[in-house]
Amino acid sequence: QKEVEQDPGPLSVPEGAIVSLNCTYSNSAFQYFMWYRQYSRKGPELLMYTYSSGNKEDGRFTAQVDKSSKYISLFIRDSQPSDSATYLCATQIQGAQKLVFGQGTRLTINP
C-alpha cells in the first residue's frame, strides 16, 4: 500500500464547475500537507500548503485536511481552462527531509 493514495483520474469537468480533488494517507505522523500543480511537460509548482488539520483558502482554491480520517482535499471554485493540469498531493513528517507524493490527478476543464 502506498503511503499516499490519489485517484489518477482523468477528471474532466465543464468550465465554471467546482472541482474536488482528494487524497488519503496512511501515516498519522504526517503533519504538513501540500498541493502541487503540474502543467504538461513542466515541473510541479506549489499551490497550497496546510499544517495539521483545518482549511486554507487562496482565491479560488481551498485546501482542507481532516487528520482524524487521514483525508486531504483541494477544491477549485469557478474552474477555468487554465486550471487544466495534474494535481499532486504531498505530505511531510515534521522534521523529515522528504515529501511523499500521491500519484497525481489529471484534470481537464472544458470551455
Partner 1 sequence: DTAVSQTPKYLVTQMGNDKSIKCEQNLGHDTMYWYKQDSKKFLKIMFSYNNKELIINETVPNRFSPKSPDKAHLNLHINSLELGDSAVYFCASSPQLSTDTQYFGPGTRLTVL
List contacts with partner 1 (CB under 8 A). 8, 32, 34, 36, 38, 41-46, 49, 86, 88, 92, 94-99, 101, 103-104, 106
Q: How far is CA 8 from CA 11, 55, 97, 107, in A?
A: 8, 23, 25, 9
Q: Smallest distance, Å, CB 9 to partner 1?
A: 10
Tell me how far the alpha carbon of residue 51 is from its chain's centroid. 14
Q: Smallest distance, Å, CB 86 to partner 1?
A: 6
Which is nearer to partner 1, 84 or 86 (by Cβ)? Answer: 86
Q: Smallest distance, Å, CB 70 to partner 1?
A: 18
Which is nearer to partner 1, 5 or 15 (by Cβ)? Answer: 5
Query: Three-state SS string across 68-95, please?
Result: CCCEEEEEECCCCHHHCEEEEEEEEECC
Q: Which residue has the cell 504531498?
A: 90
Which is nearer to partner 1, 64 or 92 (by Cβ)? Answer: 92
Which is nearer to partner 1, 18 or 96 (by Cβ)? Answer: 96
3-class SS of residue 15: coil
